[in-house]
Structures are given as structure tokens and as C-alpha cells.
Chains A and B, each alone.
Chain A
Amino acid sequence: MNYFWDLFLGGLTRGSIYALIALGYTMVYGILQLINFAHGEIYMIGAFTALIVASMLTMQGLTGLSVLILATIVAVLYAAAYGFTVEKIAYKPLRQASRLSPLISAIGMSIFLQNYVMLAQTSDFLPFPNLLPQLNFLDSISSVIAPSDFIIIATSTAVMIALTVLLKFTKMGKAMRATAQDQTMAMLTGVNVNRVISRTFIIGSALAAVGGILIASHVGRINFYIGFNAGIKAFTAAVLGGIGSVPGAVLGGLVLGLAESFGTGYISSDYESVFAFALLILILIFKPDGILGRSSQ
């Protein structure tokens, strides 16, 4: 039972990070019908920026919570700025082009950003400091749940609730939902579609940066290539839940995380990703639009 609980928590932790990144995919897809392959790279850049800022601050003598907060703010801002710029360069000129052109451009952007970070920084793994705070009250529950797991799950839940509120109750969220439903109609009712698209990229990228910091602190090392794997997993999660659907992305992320965790725990640890992908194929065979996806018919 204890083993089961450990695996369950591990899956939940992993899944909530997948969900954070998957949200960026699903929001962009909902509006542009574009698989934003560069999203994983934004997540990687977020983690790198956090590492750089955190190391600079630590060398200035700062410690503890202030490092975490400053590094997170800077990383989120930078990731958002990168997301914004990527959209302006690689996708905006291609709005009218056929479906495949933005996809290729996205793959190009992903390769570009990976190599940009590799050339400007390093191709080796860098140790990532554990930025997660050591909270005293968590020690009392550490027999049930590891503190870092708790922080990751709590943070991502909070971020996701904030996103839901933003989408449901603000004017901006309404504009975003309207654009996702019908771009032309939204434009007719006075929604500035270009601005909505920019904001979608900014929000998605900011979420990815949060995910990046959490997972980098958890794993303890990063390199320029981490975005690729995380990106593919998160995209899988988004599709699993039904791409374009925000609750679907969260559900997909959690299901994927749990499947990987139980798969590695009970069957074999070599085939971690195989479980994720096999589950994806199985679910799509029976539900071609994902778990919560809108039917195409």
C-alpha cells in the first residue's frame, strides 16, 4: 500500500508539471490550431533564466525565499517575452498559409532555440540549485508526502486555478474563449484577435516557465535538450485530454503522469515513455478526440 501511495504521489507530481506545460499547448492550439513545437524550448529557456538569475543572486549573498521569488519573477517574464517574440517572428507572418507551414516553422524555431541556448551557454548538464523553500510545517506531514512533491502539486494547482479564473471571469478570458470558438466572429464583435493571440502565447509561456523551475528544482540539473522531451510529453498530455480544452490538458497531464509512474513502478523502469505513448494510442483509438475533447462531427 505504501509503495502504491508513493507511486501515486510521484505520478501526481510529474503529472501536474506536464499539465502546466500542456496548458500552453492547448491554449495555443485552441486559438490557432497550431502545434507550437517551440513551447518545450520556452520551458527550457525559463529554467535556464531561473538558473542564471538564481546563481547571480546567490553569489551576491542572497539566500532562501528571496532568491526563489526573484528568480521566478525574472524567469516568468523572460519566458513570456520569448513566447511573445516567437509568435511574432515565426507564426504571425504565416496566419494565412496552409496548415503545414506554421508547423514546419515551429519545428525550425524549436531547433533554433535549442541551438541558441547550446551555443550561448553550454551543451553539458548544469546543476540546478534546489530553490524550493524548506517549510517547517511540512516536516510534520513528511511521512505522508515529500515536501518537494507537496510544493509542486500545490503550486501547480494554484496556478491552474488562477488560469481558470482568468479564463472564466475576466474580459480578457472571455475574448480568448471567443477567439478560440470562432476567430472571424470574435473579430466582428470587436475583439482584437492579434492581441488575444499574443496574450495567449504570453500566458502559456509563463506557465511553462513555472513548470520549468519546479521540475528543474526537483530533478536538480538541466541542459539545452530538456525542452524536447518535456514538450513531447506535454503535447501528448494535451492531446490525451482533448486538445483545445483547458480542463482536458490538466486531466491529460495527470493521467499521463500516473500512467508513467505506475508503469515504471510495477512493470519495468526502462520503458517509462512507452507507457505514456501506448496509453495515448489506446485512448485515441476508443476516443478519437481525447478524453474531454469536443467531437469533430
Chain B
Amino acid sequence: MKYACELKRSIYIALWFILLTFPIMVVKVNTIENVIVWRWINIAGIGVGAFVLSFFWQLYLRKKMTSQQTAPEKVSILNRLIENQKIYRLALFIAGIFALIFPFVFSHYQVNIMTTALIYVMLGLGLNIEVGLAGLLDLGYVAFYAVGAYSYALLNYHFGLGFWTLLPVSALLAAFFGILVGFPVLRLRGDYLAIVTLAFAEILRLVLENWNDFSFGPSGISNIPRPGFFGMNLTLEQSAIYMYFLLIALCGLTIFVTYRLQHSRIGRAWVALREDELACQATGIDKTKAKLTAFALGAMWAGIAGVLFAAKTTFINPASFTFMESAMILSIVVLGGMGSIPGIILAALAIILLPEYLRVFSDYRMILFGAALIIMMIFRPGGLMADRRKQYEFHRSDIINKS
């Protein structure tokens, strides 16, 4: 039989998984009443699941082995679509129209979800400056987000300042905090940088949680005002729509700025820094300046997103700024394809919207998310749309025409 070898292996793997998951999936002890619940049915599920998955995995491996010699450098379908100017413009046009009519077609609830997703688009694009462009692996990005949200909430609470005054102030504060974090980590490489940023974020969260006089502790701050609209009184639904358009506008700004940054002098310096620090220094790039600007600019967007988050939910507490949040934002950047703006937008929308619409599986949401991260990394390590550097091609005809 053609697949005998694969079938045999799959059976072994299925048996292995049955054994592996036995104590946790089958046995459930109740230590208070001293009874054991045996859930034998789970064994069947695990066995069949492991068998089927491993069978397909091996078929995939076999196919990959046989096709490896012939396959040229693969460019994903999404990439090819986006590089086709006509389709790209059409897609942009449709997306634009959709974004404009969205709040008038869909319900209040869905507008709210979309607004949340847009906040994550901003966060993803901001983190992209640090991780995707400058190659600074930041596991504590949520700290800057928290700085933005808390500076809006606290300055508003104490001084009664409004949204539009505090938006730039909070953004600057977050950028300043970014530089503050950036300074000590200038000398660190790769993973040391990752753990220090994580440490900063955890310290900030723990301080916010415990310093009751300053941040109102775990109970958080409520009644944060929504942004004003020329002094008009908006109903809840109107203000949701207003918030939505505000985010569309600010996301547009973020996209524009990050796009321009990416191809600017400093953007190219970041990419050089990411690729090879030594070579980058040798070409005369100020490493310190490049790293600090990456931190400051990345943090600034997180700060803005934080203000918007606080204004949208009107309530913040430290529980919103855990490491899971950082991991989520980092997943957006990596799943989208580091450095690729359309990829990150797509990934942010997918990661935030899909779980919302999969409420049926609400218990299984996180486990599916975890599995999806692993599967994505195995099959598409470059992300949904890998960033492709601008290529300058040499055409003979150009030279002939000139001369």
C-alpha cells in the first residue's frame, strides 16, 4: 500500500499522545470529596485527532521532499496580488469604501469591536518600528501602552485636561518613557534586551497595581471621559461611531508616517542596524541615536493607542496591561510579516476579529490562538505577507535609451 509507512507511524504517534495526555485528559481528581472521575471518552478524541493530524503532516512532509528540487523562490499569493498595481489600487479602494460605510451598516457592538481591532492595528504598526524595522525585540511593549492610558486618565482626573490636549502630551510622555527604557538597554543584544524590556513592563504594572495613592491600585480608574466633538453632546452610539472614525483617521496617519519612516534615512538606518550592527556602525550610522529614536517612535504610537483605549473603554486598570498583551501585539507583528505594513494590518484585524466572531468556541478561543501561532510559524514563518525589500533591477534598455 502506498501510505503504509505513514499509517504505521501515525498509529505510533497516536498511541504516544494517548499515553502523554492520559493523566490530564482522563483522570480528574476531586481532592475534597476524594473521588476520581475517569473520562475515558477523551482518549478516543485524542487518539483519532493525533492520528489524523500526524498522517496529514507526514503527507505534507513527503510532498515537500519530492517537490523541493523543482520549486523556485516562492512568493505568496498575497504578495503577488499586492504587487500587482491594478489589484492593489482596487483593493485599497474597496477597503476605503468599506471602512467609510462600516459604522452605518453594522451594529453598535460591531463598531466597538472594529474600534478595538483598529487600536491593535496602531499598536502593531508601532511595535513594528521597534521589532520589524530596527530588530529590537521588545517583550514589554505594553508598558508604553499603559503609560499612554494612565497619563490620560490621571492627568484628566487631577487637572481636568481634555482629550485633545492630553493626546499629544501622553504621546510625548510615552516616547520619553521609551527613551528611558532605551538608555539602559543600549548595550544589550538580542535576548537580553527582550528580558529587560519585559522586566520594565512588569515593574510598571506591579507599581501601578500596588501604589494605591498614585494609580488607584487594582481597582483602576473609571469615568474617563470620551473625546469631545466640538462641545456637542453625543449619545453612546454616536460617540462609538465618532471614536471609530477617529481611529480610522489616526490609523491612516500611522500608516502614512510609518510608511514614510520606513523609506527615510532613519528607516534605512534601522534596517541596517537590524541586519548587522557592526557593519551598520562601520558605515557611520549613529547606533545610539538610531536605537533611541526607534524606541521613542515605537513608544509614541503605543502612547497614542493607550489614550484611545482609555477614552474608548472609559475604564482602565493594571490587568489590561499584562505580558499576554505584549505577546499578542508581538504575534500581530510576526504573523503579519515583520516590516510589512499591509501584513500587520491584516494580522491585527484577523487576531482581534476572529476570536470575537468565534464566540461559539469561547472556551477554546485561547487554546486555538496558541495552536494557530504554532501552525502559522511552521507553515509560514515569514508571516502573512513577508516584507520584501525594494529591489532595483537592471534593465539593458534603460541604458540604451539614455545614451
| Chain A residues packing against B (C-beta within 8 Å) | 29, 33, 35, 45, 48-49, 51-53, 55-56, 59, 74, 78, 81-82, 85, 89-90, 93-94, 97-105, 107-117, 119-122, 126-127, 129, 228, 232, 235-236, 239, 243, 270-271, 273-274, 277-278, 280-281, 284-285, 288-290, 296
Contacts and interface: CB of A to CB of B under 8 A. Distances in A.
Interface string B360-403: 00011011011111101110010000000000000000000000
Contacts of B202: 232, 273-274, 277
Contacts of A109: 370, 374
B199 A119 contact: no
B31 A126 contact: yes
B207 interface: yes
Given A93-B378, A101-B377, A107-B331, A52 B27 contact: yes
Interface residues of B, number: 58
B196 A281 contact: yes
B358 to A, nearest CB: 14
B72 interface: no
A231 B32 CA distance: 29
Q: For B29, B36, B371, B374, which residue has the most chain A Cβ atoms within 10 angstroms?
A: B374
B76 to A, nearest CB: 15
Given A274-B206, A278-B199, A296-B189, 13 more contacts: A48-B23, A55-B31, A103-B137, A104-B373, A105-B374, A114-B370, A115-B366, A116-B24, A116-B367, A120-B24, A127-B32, A232-B202, A232-B323
5 contacts: A52-B23, A52-B24, A55-B29, A105-B377, A113-B370
B253 to A, nearest CB: 27
B55 to A, nearest CB: 15
B330 interface: yes
Contacts of A114: 366, 370
A102 B28 CA distance: 33
Interface of B: 16-17, 19-21, 23-25, 27-29, 31-32, 34, 36, 42, 131, 137, 184-185, 187-192, 194-196, 198-200, 202-203, 206-207, 210, 323, 327, 330-331, 334-335, 338, 363-364, 366-367, 369-374, 376-378, 381
Nearest to A78: B23
B158 to A, nearest CB: 23
A288 B190 CA distance: 11
Contacts of A45: 24
A281 B24 contact: no
A126 B372 CA distance: 29
Nearest to A113: B370
A136 B17 CA distance: 42
Contact of A101 (B17, B42, B198, B381): B381
